[in-house]
Amino acid sequence: MTIVVKIGGAVGNSTEPLLAEMSHRPDVVLVHGGSAEIDQLGAEMGRPSEYYTSPSGVVSRRNDPSHLEVVVLALAGKVQTSLVAGLARHGVAAVGLSGVDGGLLRARRKEGARALVEGHVLRVANDASGDIESVNADLLWLLLGRGLLPVVGPPAVTAKGEIVNVDADRVAARIACALGATDLIFLTNVSGLLRHRDDPASRVRRVSRAEIPSALEWAQGRMRKKVLAARDALEGGVGCVAISASDAPDPIGGALNGTGTVFA
């Protein structure tokens, strides 16, 4: 039984409950984002983050070469290293990997990303973002087999050796499929998928496959990426996907018990 857990990186996420729980949960692969750290480092470096919304309503980070550099520095240098150190404090031996290491995440450069700006559809210039083509699952099995917990984050690498940013929620879904994971859990800064984004009491407990189109209407902005990733994971054979709060005690156990939103 392998579980893939993606820990959110936006403001309002907590990592400590997850790190503490990891000391008694073997066979987990951890995936991380890091949007708050990227935004903060970008501001400090005079390269503030830019976002755009696609014609279908999905919000993405702008990944031109100068912003991509900030992404790499923040994810590898700050987020991943502090997760690995935090796990060490709880007695868990972990190895941090970007998708570039060992060709873990192979991607194709995205062609033709489009942004909706004031009613006009514009091409996104100099875009270094990609779609994942394959996962080097052997590398993950090698680490798991040695009792080492993989901690994985973007970016990914193309066949030509170019670095491209990829969405961390999609990374988690692809890794879950490649490992034949039983469960995929997104720990985030809200209690689950909310029927009405601004009403915390409107959490949706369960979403069947047939209800995913409705879930895509309720989800706005970056939550849409989680719902799309949940759909991909279910289609790829993962038994159960959950979106749940990262600041709850034992957040993995909670998510498995349905304290958030379960897609199955």
Residues that bind ligand ADP (CB under 6 A): 8-10, 13, 33, 35, 188-190, 193-194, 197, 218-223
CB nearer ligand ADP, residue 207 or residue 234: 207
Residue 85 phi/psi, 5-degree rounding, is -65, -40
CB nearer ligand ADP, residue 5 or residue 219: 219
d(CA 106, CA 201): 40
Least Å from the CB of residue 145 to ligand ADP: 29
What is the helix, strand, coil percentage profile of the chain, to 5?
35, 25, 35
CB nearer ligand ADP, residue 134 or residue 189: 189
CB nearer ligand ADP, residue 213 or residue 221: 221
CB nearer ligand ADP, residue 221 or residue 237: 221
- Specify whether the CB–CB gap between 168 and 98 falls below 8 A: no
Least Å from the CB of residue 219 to ligand ADP: 5
* Cα angle value 197/110/8 (rounded, 5°): 35
CB nearer ligand ADP, residue 48 or residue 221: 221
Could you tell me whether strands 114-117 and 163-164 are parallel, antiparallel, or unpaired per DSSP bridges? unpaired
Least Å from the CB of residue 183 to ligand ADP: 17
CB nearer ligand ADP, residue 135 or residue 223: 223
Q: Which residues pair with 59 in a beta bridge?
A: 53
Least Å from the CB of residue 198 to ligand ADP: 9
Least Å from the CB of residue 34 to ligand ADP: 8
Least Å from the CB of residue 61 to ligand ADP: 10
Q: By Cβ distance, which residue is nearest to ligand ADP? A: 8
- Specify whether the CB–CB gap between 228 and 219 falls below 8 A: no
HSE-CB at 126 with a 13 A cutoff on CA atoms is 7
d(CA 129, CA 186): 22
Location of structure tokens 């309503």: 57
- Specify whether the CB–CB gap between 124 and 115 falls below 8 A: yes
Query: How far is CA 138 from each of CA 103, 144, 150, 157, rounded to the nearest angstrom?
Result: 11, 10, 12, 17
Least Å from the CB of residue 52 to ligand ADP: 15
- Here the tokens at position 35 are 């949007």
